[in-house]
Structure 1
Amino acid sequence: MVTGKTKLERILIWKTNSRGRITAELEKLIDEGELPVMPKFWEAGQEDKLAIDIINKCCSKVDNEQFSEMKDVLKRSLSQIRGYRELRDHVERMCKERYDRENEIHEKRLLKLWELLMPMENLEARMTNQWQKIGFQAKKKIFFSNYKLKISFGHDPATDFRGMGILSLEQLIFLAQYDVAHAQSILSHSNHPLYGFPMAVTGINLTALVRQLLQVNALKMHFYNTISGTPTIDNFHHVFCQVFKLFCAFWTRRKPEVVYFNKIKDDFETQLMVHLNSEEANLDKLDIRSFE
Structure 2
Amino acid sequence: MFACLLQYVYTSFLRYWLKWLLRQLTGKCELQRICSGYKPGAARTTKAEYSLQSSKNKILRNALTTVRADLSKCMDQVLQEKNIQPQKDPLFKDNLHDCLLQITGYSQLYVGVEELRKEVFSSDNPDHESMLLKLWDLLMPSVKLESRITKQWGDIGFQGDDPKTDFRGMGLLGLINLVFFSENYTEEARQVLSHANHPKLGYSYAIVGINLTEMAYSLLKSGALKPHFYNTVFGSPELQHFHQLYCYLAYEFDKFWLSEEPESIMLFNEYREKFHQKVQLSLKNPAVCLTLRVEN
Per the TM superposition, whether the score is higher than 0.5 is yes
Q: Which residue of 2 aligns with 1:92?
A: 114
Look up the match of 1:4.
Answer: 27
Mapped to 2, the partners of 1:99 and 1:5 lie a distance apart of 53
Instruction: Name the CA distance, whole Å, in 2 between partners of 1:52 and 1:120.
Output: 59
Residue 42 of structure 1, aligned match among 62, 66, 77 = 66
The answer to whether residue 279 in structure 2 is matched with residue 272 in structure 1 is yes
Give the structure with the higher percent helix: 2
Q: Secondary structure at the match of 1:283?
A: coil
What's the counterpart of residue 42 of structure 2? 20
Larger Rg, first or second structure (1 or 2)? 2
Instruction: Please report how far the alpha carbon of residue 105 of structure 1 lies from its aligned counterpart in structure 2 after TM superposition.
Output: 1.6
Q: Which of 75, 84, 97 in structure 1 is aligned with 2:97? A: 75
Work out whether 1:233 is the aligned partner of 2:239: yes
Aligned residues: CA RMSD: 1.9
What TM-score do the two structures reach when normalised by structure 2?
0.86
Q: Distance in 1 between matches of 2:51 and 2:38?
A: 18
Superposed displacement of residue 207, structure 1: 0.3
Q: Does residue 205 of structure 2 align to residue 165 of structure 1?
A: no
Q: Is the 8 A contact 1:8 1:58 kept in 2?
A: no
Deviations 1:2-33, CA, capped at 9 Å, x for gaps: 323211111111144x6212111111122223
SS at match of 2:246: helix
Q: Is the aligned partner of 1:284 residue 2:294?
A: no
For 1:239 and 1:262, locate their aligned partners in 2 and report how far apart those are by CA, in whole Å.
Answer: 21
1:164 is displaced (CA, Å) by 0.5
- For residue 287 of structure 1, report the CA deviation from its aligned partner: 9.3
Matches within 5 A, 1:192-211: 192-211=198-217
Farther-moved stretch of structure 1 (217-226 vs 35-44): 35-44
User: Quick check: 1:117 aligned with 2:139?
Assistant: yes
What 5-or-longer segments of structure 2 have no aligned partner? 1-21
2: CA distance between counterparts of 1:15 and 1:212? 29
Is 1:57 the counterpart of 2:81? The answer is yes
State the alpha-carbon separation in 1 of the partners of residues 293 and 43 from structure 2: 18
Residue 146 of structure 1 is matched in structure 2 by: none
Residue by residue over 1:150-173, the C-alpha shift from the partner in whole angstroms, topping out at 9 and shown as x without a partner, is xxxx41111111111000000000
Contact persistence 2:101–2:235 (CA under 8 A): yes
Q: Which residue of 2 aligns with 1:145?
A: none
- Are residues 1:216 and 2:222 paired? yes
2:257 corresponds to which residue?
A: 251
Aligned to 1:261: 268
Separation of aligned partners in 2, 1:285 and 1:241: 7
Counterpart of 2:125 in structure 1 is: 103
Change (3 A) 1:287 1:20: farther
Q: How much has 1:187 moved relative to structure 2? A: 0.7
Aligned partner of residue 194 in structure 1, secondary structure? coil
Q: Distance in 2 between matches of 1:58 and 1:287?
A: 46
Amino acid at match of 1:20: A
CA pair 93-35 structure 1, distance change in 2 beyond 3 A: same
Unpaired stretches in structure 1, ≥5 consecutive residues: 138-153
The aligned amino acid for 2:30 is K
Maintained 8 Å contact 1:88/1:215 = yes
> Residues 11 and 26 of structure 1 are in contact (CA less than 8 Å); yes or no, is this contact kept in structure 2?
yes
Paired with 2:83 and 2:182, the residues of 1 have a C-alpha distance of 49
Q: What percentage of aligned pairs have identical amino acids? A: 36
Q: Does the CA-based 8 Å contact 2:86-2:93 persist in structure 1?
A: no
